[in-house]
């Protein structure tokens, strides 16, 4: 997949991280709009499941 090339590995890692980070943020905003406070409670108990991606945080 990364063709045994450190540059390809780095580029793939960065591209994947950016994709999933942006995707998680968009999904969590949508879930917050749809479920409201129930999703906030759920968010406090469960992480995103992806390393180094914290998700969307609400400022209360």
- Give yes or no for residue 2 having a pLDDT over 70: no
What tens digit of pLDDT does each residue of 4-27 get?
A: 888 988 998 899 999 999 999 999
Structure confidence at residue 60 (pLDDT): 58
Q: How many helices and strands (H and E) does the chain possess?
A: 2, 0
- More confident site: 9 or 57: 9
Average pLDDT over residues 23-40: 93
Domain ranges of the chain: 6-45
How many residues comprise the chain? 60
The answer to pTM > 0.85 is no
Tokens 């980070």 label which residue?
Answer: 21
DSSP state of 55: -
């Amino acid at each position: 997949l990364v063709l045994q090339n450190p540059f390809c590995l780095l580029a793939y890692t960065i591209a994947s991280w950016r994709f999933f980070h942006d995707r998680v943020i968009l999904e969590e905003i949508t879930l917050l709009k749809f479920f409201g406070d129930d999703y906030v409670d759920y968010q406090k108990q469960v992480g995103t499941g992806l390393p180094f991606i914290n998700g969307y945080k609400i400022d209360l």
